[in-house]
Amino acid sequence: MLALLSGIFVYLIELRRDRIESANAFYIAMFAIVGGIIGSKLPIILIYWRELNSSPNPLDVLLSGRTIVGGLIGGALGTFLAKKFFHIKERLGNQIAIPVAVGMAVGRVGCLLRGCCYGQATSLPWGIDLGDHIARHPTQLYEMFFDILLAFYLAWRKKQGVEPGELFKIFLNGYLSFRFLLEFIRDERIAFIGLTNFQVLCVISLVYINRNLGSMLFNRKKVQKA
């Protein structure tokens, strides 16, 4: 809840700073939040379907987990649906990116206090015992610090001048790349060719986000050959 409220607060600041008073900003935010909530739960249901079926209280299992990667994908889809439904032409990615990074940083504090999203065992001096008498990588803190740095970087890029919507693409590329690497030290089950489910989602998302870049590079090579 604190993560959500923090994100909304920063979003309102960004809208005011950029002098955006359109109702479209509200519609996009609402669809993004609902899409993010659904997206954060759906992968958990699919990945832990066996646990849900075998648990004497499946509701506890269902409510106990969320994934940020799925939330980002769901939020992006929610934004897309809002634009289609309300015929919105504005691109508010530059106003959304920083609030999402801030909200995620706050959310990872909750993960640390809850004892979830932890890392593998480590002998490093900053390893944290979460109750199982094993010192683990504090991956929650790793990501929290990264999200904070990413928010500052996005704010700097915004001051330098960016195209409409460009900031959110920078955010997604930065976070998904970091999360892909972080998964190698997180305590997650392997799903496919040595990768976790979330790494597979990261790769698919990165390919989709940068599909136009690949097309541009391919066309440029064709022009050079011609």
CB 151 within 8 A of CB 102: yes
Comparing 69 with 98, the larger pLDDT belongs to 98
Residue 98 has which token pair? 């920083």
Residue pLDDT, tens place only, 154-163 = 999 999 998 9
Q: Give me the torsion for CA of 74, 75, 80, 84, rounded to 10°.
A: 100
Residue pLDDT, tens place only, 50-80 = 766 666 666 665 566 677 777 888 888 888 8
pLDDT at 147: 96
Average pLDDT over residues 23-37: 84
DSSP lists the bridge partners of residue 121 as 136
Q: Burial, 210: exposed, middle or buried (Cβ in 10 Å; 0-12, 13-18, 19+)?
A: middle
CB 191 within 8 A of CB 197: yes
CB 6 within 8 A of CB 106: yes
Interacting residues of 53 by C-beta distance below 8 A, sequence separation 6+ = none
CA atoms of 80 and 87, how far apart (whole Å): 10
Contacts of 147-150 spanning 24+ positions with Cβ under 8 A: 147/101, 147/102, 147/104, 147/105, 147/108, 147/175, 148/101, 148/105, 150/101, 150/174, 150/175, 150/178
